[in-house]
Structure 1
Amino acid sequence: MITWNNLDTIPAYQELLKVAPVELAEAMTGEKGAERVRKYSVPMAAGLSCNYAAKQVDDKILEVLAKLAEETQLAGKFEALYNGEVINTGEKRMVLHHLTRGQLGEAVVADGVDKRSFYVQQQEKIAELANKVHSGEITNAAGEKFTTVVQIGIGGSDLGPRAMYLALENWAKVNHTFKMEARFISNVDPDDAAAVLNTIDVARSLFVLVSKSGTTLETLTNESFVKDALKKAGLEPSRHMIAVTSETSPLAQSDEYLAAFFMDDYIGGRFSSTSGVGGAVLSLAFGPEVFARFLEGAAEEDKLARNRDMYANPAMLDALIGVYERNVLGYQNTAVLPYSQALSRFPAHLQQLDMESNGKSVNRFGEPVDYVTGPVIFGEPGTNGQHSFYQLLHQGTDIIPLQFVGFRDSQMGTDVVIQESTSQQKLCANVAAQIVAFACGKADDNRNKNFEGGRPSSIVIGEQLTPEALGALLSHFENKVMFQGFVWNINSFDQEGVQLGKVLAKKVLAHDTDGALKAYSDLLNI
């Protein structure tokens, strides 16, 4: 039987508070460090692995974390989730994004529909449309092929799909699967839409409008912006637009779209990259086969997340170490540092995924919790970040745990030897050096040049960033966030915190304001 209890009532957590912490600089020095690197690693899907040698854990701490996993019933709660129990208590909904890439347990029926079959059906419809666009069966009014796809959406309808597109763009070009350039419009700031529209051929562009409710203010405003541009170019908007929405939204049966593909309320925006939200733009950009490979990688990683053995479950292990860092060691932030330019927007996606999910101060029953929950997430690609905020990471007053991502080979295979090493070798050398530098530091009598060390990190590493590897990477972090929410006894699947600002913005636009809200409205000439 599944029970939901606050973290501070769990015996293993109380035990964890009493375990002596690891002196990381000492543990990672010399042969001891080499032995940790060989020992503390767990395989992931798609040839990836997660090495956590430079985390502040040892066998005793891991043993207690394994107890914590059992006492908080992490495996059982995940099983309940993928078998269709109502895990999103705030909105009284199931949580079904795993079903977009595979059936992990029992058939899940909702609203009289087998949901796995429903998601597969939508993927097949998207693939059919994408193939017709690529073959020239679907064209613009002049009979010309579409060359650009533009996604219009915000939040999870932008951050995830944009990050995934950028991650695979160069891989697709090298592997001859690149079909259409993708662009993205998200911000209601008119400069965002104008900048995109001014750099594309609108006559040969297909626009994907993504709004689950069909009422998102920013998205509908940008849709109007785009339709206006199409009309000014003498084009019929309905021949240039498709919708990804829910079956009950105002967009679902509209004749203003070339086609409509459906999602539902059981998939939150930040978890929607493997649904039609990401499926439409990625299938159009790279072909349905590449999107299918992306889903395959995510599905394989999801299967690992079912493992009841923490040591063979990379997402669960990563999550529990993160809880230890947050609730025992008191670290407030986590930096995500991919040493791959293709993952340039991946930290931004993970920022929403983590902070919108676990930025909660009440438990699943609406009761305040007496412990900290989700950390602040930020990051940039290496080596750019090294010349930006790494100064604070190395010598600042706060210790910030680090999550590196790295690949042994580049995506494009274009490289040169400079000073006896390639650019890719230099990139990999930098990530290896940073892990050890953060962990071990460097003593110096000049305090300004002294590095204390003791700065923990982990690294997810693979051969190359392929569609399968990207899917596995996405699944890993989605499941990590889920497991941490379970440990903290919070609901990771609603986002009430984003609603208040939307409500007040509508009051401003309706000129229904007083007090400070009116004063700020006047200040901004609204």
Structure 2
Amino acid sequence: MVTWSNFDTLTSYEELPKIERVKLAEVMAGENGADRVKKYSIPMAAGLTYNYAAKQVDDQVLEGLEKLAKEAQLADKFKALYNGEVINTGEKRLVLHHLTRGQLGDAVVADGVDKRAFYVEQQEKIAEFANKVHAGEITNAAGEKFTTVVQIGIGGSDLGPRAMYLALENWAKKNGLFKMEAKFISNVDPDDAAAVLNSIDVAHSIFILVSKSGTTLETLTNESFVKDALKNAGLDASRHMIAVTSETSPLAKSEDYLAAFFMDDYIGGRFSSTSSVGGAVLSLAFGPEVFAQFLEGAAEEDKLAANENVLENPAMVDALIGVYERNVLGYPATAVLPYSQALSRFPAHLQQADMESNGKSVNRFGEPVNYPTGPVLFGEPGTNGQHSFYQLLHQGTDIVPLQFVGFKNSQIGTDVVIQGSTSQQKLCANAAAQVVAFACGKEDENLNKKFDGGRPSSIIIGETLDPKALGALLSHFENKIMFQGFVWNVNSFDQEGVQLGKVLAKKVLAHETDGALKAYSDLLNI
């Protein structure tokens, strides 16, 4: 039987601080470091590897974390989640994003519907629609093919799909699988929509409106902006727009859209890239087969996350080390550093996925917790970040654990040799160097040039960033977030923290303000 208990009530929580701290700079030096690199490594799906040799752990720490995993019943809780128990206690909902890419356990029936069958049905409908668009069977009023797809959404309806599109754009072009350019409109700032509309030919563009409820203020505002642009161009907006929404939303059966594809309340926005939210734009951009490969990689990684052997479960190990860093070592933040320009927006997606999920100060039952929960997360691709914020990471007063991601080969497959090495080799050399530099540091009598080291990192390494690898990478971090939420006994699947500002904004627009809210409204000339 699964028991939901606060982290600080667990026996393993009390034991972890008693374990001797690992002196990272020492254990990573010389041949000891080489041995650790070989030892502390776990295979992932799609040819990826999770290596945590440069984390501040050893066998003793890992033994303590294994005890924590078992006492916190992480494997059992994941099993309860994918078998359809109500895990989102705040909204009394199931959590089913894993079902969008595969069946991990029992058939899940909710609202009288087999949910796996429902998600597959939506994927098949999207695939059929995308194929007709690509074949010129669905066209604009002039009978001309659509060449651009524009997603209108915010939060999880934008960050994940945008990051996934950018991750695969060059790969698809190299492999002859690029079908349509994709653009994204998210911010209610009119400059965002205007910039996108000014960069495309609206007559040959199809727009995807993404809103589960059909009432998202920013999204509906941007939809009106787009509809005005279509009208001003003499175009019928209903011939250019599709909706991704719930079956009960006002958008579901509206004649304003060419088609509607459905999601449901059991998939949170930040976990929706493998649902219709990501499926429509990615299938139109690259073809349904590419989206299917993306789902396959995620499904394979989900299976690894269900492994009850902790040290063979990369997402669980990653999560447990993160808890150790946050709650025992006292590190308040973490940085995700992909050495791949294609993953330029991946840290922004993970920022939402992690901080919106585990940025909680009450437990699953609405009671205050007395320990730190989710860390602050940020990141940029290397090597750009090295010339930006790495100074603080190397020599700042706070230690920030790091998560690198690197690939042996570029997506384009071609390169040039400059000064004896290729661009990709230079990129990978920098990734390897940074891992060791952060861990080992450098002695120098000039304190300004001294690096203390002892700054922990992990690295995920793959051959090439392709759809399967991207799916596995996404799944790894989604499951890591889930496991950490289980340890901290928080509900990782609601987001009440985003609601208050929305409520007050509506009051401002209705001119129902007083005090400081009225004063700030006046300053902004509302």
Equivalents in 2 of 1:239, 1:512: separation in Å?
39
Which amino acid counterpart does residue 58 of structure 1 have in structure 2?
A: D
Match of 2:204 in 1: 204
Number of the residue aligned with 2:344: 344
Instruction: After the TM superposition, list the runs of 4 or more consecutive aligned residues in structure 1 that deviate by more than 6 angstroms.
Output: none
In structure 2, the residue matched to 1:77 is: 77
**Following superposition of structure 1 onto structure 2, how do residues 50-199 of structure 1 map, counting pairs within 5 Å?**
50-199=50-199
Offset from partner CA, 1:63-82 (integer Å, 9 cap, x none): 01000000000000000000
Q: Note the C-alpha offset of 1:13.
A: 1.2
Q: Give the Cα–Cα distance (whole angstroms) in 1 for the partners of residues 137 and 379 of structure 2.
A: 42
| Count of paired positions | 526
Any residues of structure 2 matched to 1:222-371 within 5 Å, and which? Answer: 222-371=222-371
The one-letter code of the counterpart of 1:42 is I
- What CA distance in whole angstroms lies between the structure 2 residues aligned with 1:479 and 1:440? 30
Tell me the secondary structure at the aligned position of residue 476 of structure 1: helix
SS of the counterpart of 1:350? helix
Paired residue for 2:429? 429
Q: List aligned pairs for 1:381-400, cutoff 5 A.
A: 381-400=381-400
TM-score under structure 2 length normalisation:
1.00
Q: Give the superposition deviation at 1:202.
A: 0.1
Which amino acid in 1 is paired with 2:295?
A: L
* Deviation digits for residues 447-474 of structure 1 (CA, Å, limit 9, x no counterpart): 0000000000000000000100000000
Identity over aligned residues, as a percent?
84
Q: SS of the residue aligned with 1:443? A: coil
Q: CA deviation at 1:311?
A: 0.6
Residue 488 of structure 1 aligns with which residue? 488
Task: Please state how far the C-alpha of 1:420 moved relative to its aligned partner.
Answer: 0.4
Secondary structure of the corresponding residue to residue 17 of structure 1: helix
Q: Structure 2, unaligned stretches of length 5 or more? A: none
Question: Which residue type is aligned with residue 314 of structure 2?
Answer: P
User: Which residue identity lines up with residue 285 of structure 2 in the other structure?
Assistant: A
For 1:13 and 1:199, locate their aligned partners in 2 and report how far apart those are by CA, in whole Å. Answer: 54
Task: Encode CA deviations 1:324-349: one digit per residue, 9 max, x unaligned.
Answer: 00000000000000000000000000
Alignment root-mean-square deviation, CA: 0.3
1:249: Cα distance to partner?
A: 0.5
Residues 69-111 of structure 1: CA distance to partner in whole angstroms, max 9, x if unpaired? 0000000000000000000000000000000000000000011
Q: Distance in 2 between matches of 1:159 and 1:513?
A: 32
Q: Which residue number corresponds to residue 22 of structure 1? A: 22
**Following the alignment from structure 1 to structure 2, what is the Cα–Cα distance between the partners of residues 86 and 257?**
33
Residue 457 of structure 1 corresponds to which residue in structure 2?
Answer: 457
Residue 516 of structure 2 is aligned to residue 516 of structure 1: yes
What secondary structure does 2:93 align onto? coil
Gaps (5+ residues) in structure 1? Answer: none
Alignment of 1:471-510 (within 5 A): 471-510=471-510
Question: Deviations 1:263-316 (Å, cap 9, x if unpaired)?
Answer: 000000000000000000000000000000000000000000000111110000
Deviation at 1:200, TM superposition (A): 0.2
Superposition deviation, residue 413 in structure 1:
1.1
Q: Distance in 2 between matches of 1:271 and 1:507?
A: 30
Tell me by how many angstroms 1:227 deviates. 0.2
Tell me which amino acid in the other structure corresponds to 1:192. Answer: D
User: Which deviations, in whole Å up to 9, do the C-alpha atoms of 1:359-399 show, x marking residues without a partner?
Assistant: 00000010100000000000000000000000000000000
> What is the distance in 1 between the residues matched to 2:440 and 2:129?
54
Under a length normalisation based on structure 1, what TM-score does the superposition of the two structures give?
A: 1.00
Instruction: Indicate the residue corresponding to 1:403 in structure 2.
Output: 403
Per the alignment, in what secondary structure is the counterpart of residue 86 of structure 2?
A: coil
How many Å apart are 1:17 and its aligned residue?
A: 1.1
Q: Deviations over 1:421-448 (max 9, x none)?
A: 0000000000000000000000000000
